[in-house]
């Protein structure tokens, strides 16, 4: 009975905080895009994390809150399909958030600990592959309870929708907790190394101004034209700021989501049952971490953009889409692109003869 009284009262708060979190994370993505002329792997991972938070509050948490409000009517109850969709999406996004935070800390450690290797490697491509792997693993594991990997004695969707790991099954619960625990441990280690390396670099620069910095590597063709370049080391203030941002995100995630999920999971497996406080803890922690990420992005000068910058970025994107669409008027081609095309066509016969 206590659960029946608590959950509908918290559902209104989940919906209100979820809507605010949805708008705040969308603003954070637009702010990061407005401040960056060229996307880097770290910014891509930050925007992916914000998008994951948006999906989490928009799909599973909003679904659970709406169902709890409608359950006040005696003729409404969870259906099997709706419960399976909720459980799969919730655990998929929970694992994706956990892995995204870990990959964020790993990329930051890689950049400050081995800067030359980081810049010579195709870090952007690896970040894209990392995100694809994160979502693939999260979806496959979280979809298994919906297709049959759960406790067959009493299914989690029989009476309501009990989504704590002990109610789903022992095998799924152990695999889920091992993945979350390993990811949290790896994120803490990578963050500690990045912080130590950044602070040691700051002290080293003050002690010796002739410290080694990553040079700017420029790739040119036979005619001396610049084809690509690898930028040098980032400024000391920027390095310390970004490392502090990543460390704060990792600490807040561990305190608000990583450790609570582990405590709730192990407690439920030990008792072989779920309690109302476990549901409230997991859902409120999910909403809280989604609300705090945009605050941290706004607190960082590198990613803080005003309304005018965001509006200009949106207008520029809309203008690019409008130019690319097929219309009655002929598309406008910049003069530089025309001259480049004419040069290529002029050199094409000589290149073929050679």
Q: What is the pTM of this model?
A: 0.81
Residue 4 has pLDDT above 70, yes or no: no
Residue 217 has pLDDT above 90, yes or no: no
84, part of any domain:
yes
218, part of any domain:
no
Query: Could you give the number of structural domains in the chain?
Result: 1
293, part of any domain:
yes
> Highest-confidence range of 204-208, 221-225, 318-322, 327-331, by mean pLDDT?
318-322
Structural domain harbouring 293: 2-209+234-310
Q: 220 - beta bridge partners?
A: 226
327, part of any domain:
no
Q: Please name which of 119, 103, 109, 90 lies closest in space to residue 46, comparing C-alpha atoms.
A: 103
Percent of the chain at pLDDT > 90 equals 45
Model pLDDT, residue 340: 43
Mean pLDDT of 45-56: 95
Residue 154 has pLDDT above 50, yes or no: yes
348, part of any domain:
no
The string of pLDDT tens digits covering residues 101-138 is 999 999 999 988 888 788 778 888 899 999 999 999 99
With b meaning 16 or more CB within 10 Å and e meaning fewer, what string describes 201-220? beeeeeeeeeeeeeeeeeee
CATH code at position 184:
1.20.1070.10
62, part of any domain:
yes
> In the 8-state DSSP scheme, what is residue 306?
-
List, as own/partner pairs, every contact residues 129-137 make where C-beta atoms lie below 8 angstroms and the sequence separation is at least 24, other chains included.
130/45, 130/103, 131/44, 131/45, 131/48, 131/100, 131/103, 134/95, 134/96, 134/99, 134/100, 134/103, 135/92, 135/96, 137/95, 137/99
The string of pLDDT tens digits covering residues 178-195 is 999 999 999 999 999 999
133, part of any domain:
yes
Q: What is the dihedral of CA 160, 62, 278, 282, to 10 degrees?
A: 150
Residue 236 has pLDDT above 80, yes or no: no
168, part of any domain:
yes
């Amino acid at each position: 009975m206590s659960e029946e009284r608590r959950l509908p009262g918290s559902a209104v708060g989940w919906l209100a905080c979820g809507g605010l979190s949805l708008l705040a994370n969308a603003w954070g993505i637009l702010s990061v895009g407005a401040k960056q002329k060229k996307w880097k792997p770290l910014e891509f991972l930050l925007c992916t994390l914000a998008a994951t938070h948006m999906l989490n509050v928009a799909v599973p948490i909003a679904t659970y809150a709406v169902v709890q409000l409608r359950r006040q009517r005696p003729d409404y109850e969870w259906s099997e399909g709706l419960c399976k969709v909720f459980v799969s999406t919730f655990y998929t996004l929970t694992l994706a958030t956990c892995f995204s935070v870990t990959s964020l800390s790993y990329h930051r450690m890689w950049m400050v600990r081995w800067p030359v290797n980081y810049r010579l490697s195709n870090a952007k491509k690896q970040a894209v592959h990392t995100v694809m792997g994160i979502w693939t693993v999260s979806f496959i594991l979280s979809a298994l309870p919906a297709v049959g990997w759960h406790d067959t004695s009493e299914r989690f969707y029989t009476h309501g929708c009990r989504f704590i790991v002990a109610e789903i099954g022992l095998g799924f619960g152990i695999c889920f907790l091992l993945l979350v625990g390993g990811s949290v441990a790896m994120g803490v280690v990578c963050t500690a190394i990045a912080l130590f390396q950044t602070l040691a670099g700051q002290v080293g620069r003050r002690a010796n101004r002739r410290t080694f910095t990553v040079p700017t590597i420029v790739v040119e063709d036979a005619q001396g034209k610049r084809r690509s370049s690898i930028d040098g080391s980032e400024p000391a203030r920027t390095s310390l700021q970004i490392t502090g941002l990543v460390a704060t995100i990792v600490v807040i995630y561990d305190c608000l989501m990583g450790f609570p999920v582990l405590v709730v999971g192990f407690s439920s497996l030990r008792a072989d049952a779920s309690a109302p406080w476990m549901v409230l803890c997991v859902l409120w922690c999910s909403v809280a971490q989604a609300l705090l990420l945009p605050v941290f992005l706004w607190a960082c000068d590198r990613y803080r953009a005003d309304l005018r910058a965001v509006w200009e970025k949106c207008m520029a994107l809309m203008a690019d889409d409008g130019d690319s669409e097929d219309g009655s008027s002929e598309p406008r081609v910049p003069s530089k692109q025309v001259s480049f095309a004419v040069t290529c066509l002029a050199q094409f016969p000589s290149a073929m003869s050679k």
